[in-house]
Amino acid sequence: MFKSLAGRTVIVTGASKGIGKGIARRFAEVGCNVMVVSRNIADGEAVAAELQGHGGKIAAIGADVSTPEGAKAMAEATLAHFGAIDILCANAGIFPAAKLASMTVEEFDHVMNTNLRGTFLSVSACLPALKVSGRGRIILTSSITGPITGFPGWSHYGASKAGQLGFMRTAAIELAPSGITVNAVMPGNIFTEGLEGMGPEYIASMEASIPQRRLGSVADIANAALFFATDEAAYITGQGMVIDGGQILPESPAAIAEMDIA
Ligand code: NAP
């Protein structure tokens, strides 16, 4: 149905774990060259080794996307290794919880610097190469948390995820003449190592609140990211796609309770 993406080069930030690893796997499976980015190079190299032989060529770099130096090193290493950057999946993100009453400036800045500043720096560093590509694709990993919903402890996180969508809309306008599209996947609760750390009670409560009664998989998100990267999605830009098993739909807990009544 879709034209092949084989041979295109994709950078996936935050690809050593979770959603990013799932995105890297999916792009590798369709024959893309994939640069796996994370701060911990050993984790990234382990993923690169795991994905070898799944299709495209894989490499890894240790880089902190919240710094200009890290983002620049990531783009330069990708160009040196693969000779192009066609697709950027700006996925790296953190979600430490802190309630407003006790949130420190450092905690706020750490989340914003990784999630929002890291998005800006990653896009900026890759922009010259994406322009050369002529069919550049930027895919941000936002969230439902912030743009649509809220959760206690995540005011800084929600602001960073909503901020990514604000960034996306203007970037999409500015980059349209260069043939670059900018879109976002907006996951609900996805089962990852990061989410696993929230504990079994949190996971069970989330499953109970989702109409499909399951957490999403990293493949659910990776498939949406892959679609945004295709030639067939060339006319879609500045859009967010919610992938959440219906999580944002119930207007009250009663809507979920009603599902169980025959
Ligand atoms: P995760 O399992 O904790 O993985 C996070 C990844 O980001 C790791 O590879 C981590 O590696 C990397 N990373 C963190 N800070 C970085 C930095 N400054 N520079 C480079 N890499 C960095 O997280 P996840 O659950 O997959 O989440 C990935 C994205 O999806 C995030 O943007 C998150 O907001 C979003 N999201 C997740 C969910 C969910 O349910 N899991 C829902 C909605 C949105 P290092 O620590 O080695 O750097």
Enter the tokens of residue 115.
């999630």
1 lies in some domain: no
Instruction: Label residue 1 by pLDDT band (50, 70, 90).
Output: confident
Tell me the whole-structure pTM to 2 decimals: 0.97
State whether the Cα torsion 174-188-115-158 is positive or negative: positive
Residue 164's domain is classified under what CATH number? 3.40.50.720
Tell how far the Cα of 223 is from the centroid of ligand 1, in angstroms: 17
Atom of ligand 1 nearest to the CA of 157: 34
91 lies in some domain: yes
C-beta neighbour count of 236 within 10 angstroms: 15
Model pLDDT, residue 8: 98
**Residue range 169-185: mean pLDDT, rounded:** 98
- Predicted confidence (pLDDT) per residue in 21-76, tens digit: 999 999 999 999 999 999 999 999 999 999 998 888 999 999 999 999 999 999 99
Instruction: Label residue 119 by pLDDT band (50, 70, 90).
Output: very high
DSSP 46-94: HHHHHHTTSSS-EEEEE--TTSHHHHHHHHHHHHHHHS---EEEE----
Task: Indicate which residue of 82, 95, 120, 157 is catalytic.
Answer: 157
C-beta neighbour count of 260 within 10 angstroms: 6
Tell how far the Cα of 82 is from the centroid of ligand 1, in angstroms: 24
164 lies in some domain: yes
- Burial classification of residue 69, based on how many CB atoms lie within 10 Å of its CB (0-12 exposed, 13-18 middle, 19 or more buried): exposed
Q: What is the residue whose two structure tokens read 């944002």?
A: 248
C-beta neighbour count of 27 within 10 angstroms: 30
Residue 226 has pLDDT above 90, yes or no: yes
Instruction: Label residue 109 by pLDDT band (50, 70, 90).
Output: very high
24 lies in some domain: yes
Of 69, 155, 71, 63, which is closest to residue 120 (Cα–Cα)?
71
Model pLDDT, residue 198: 81
Residue 262 has pLDDT above 90, yes or no: no
49 lies in some domain: yes
Model pLDDT, residue 194: 72
Tell how far the Cα of 153 is from the centroid of ligand 1, in angstroms: 17
Query: Residue with the nearest Cα to atom 5 of ligand 1?
Result: 14
Model pLDDT, residue 13: 98
Model pLDDT, residue 62: 98
Residue 223 has pLDDT above 90, yes or no: yes
Tell me the longest C-alpha to C-alpha distance in the chain. 60
Q: Which residue has the higher pLDDT, 237 or 261?
A: 237
- Predicted confidence (pLDDT) per residue in 153-169, tens digit: 999 999 999 999 999 99
Model pLDDT, residue 134: 94
Query: Residue with the nearest Cα to atom 19 of ligand 1?
Result: 64
| Residue 157 falls in the annotated catalytic set | yes
Give the number of domains in the chain. 1
Q: How far apart are CA 2 and CA 108, in angstroms?
A: 41
Helix axes 68-82, 118-133, angle to 10 degrees: 30
Query: Residue with the nearest Cα to atom 8 of ligand 1?
Result: 14
Residue 148 has pLDDT above 90, yes or no: yes
127 lies in some domain: yes
Full residue range of the structural domain in which residue 105 is found: 9-196+215-247
CB of 63 closer than 8 Å to CB of 74: yes
Average pLDDT of every residue of the chain: 96
Model pLDDT, residue 76: 98
Q: How far apart are CA 63 and CA 66, in angstroms?
A: 9
**Ligand 1 residue neighbourhood (C-beta within 6 Å):** 13-20, 37-40, 43, 64-66, 91-95, 114, 118, 141, 143, 187, 189-190, 192-195
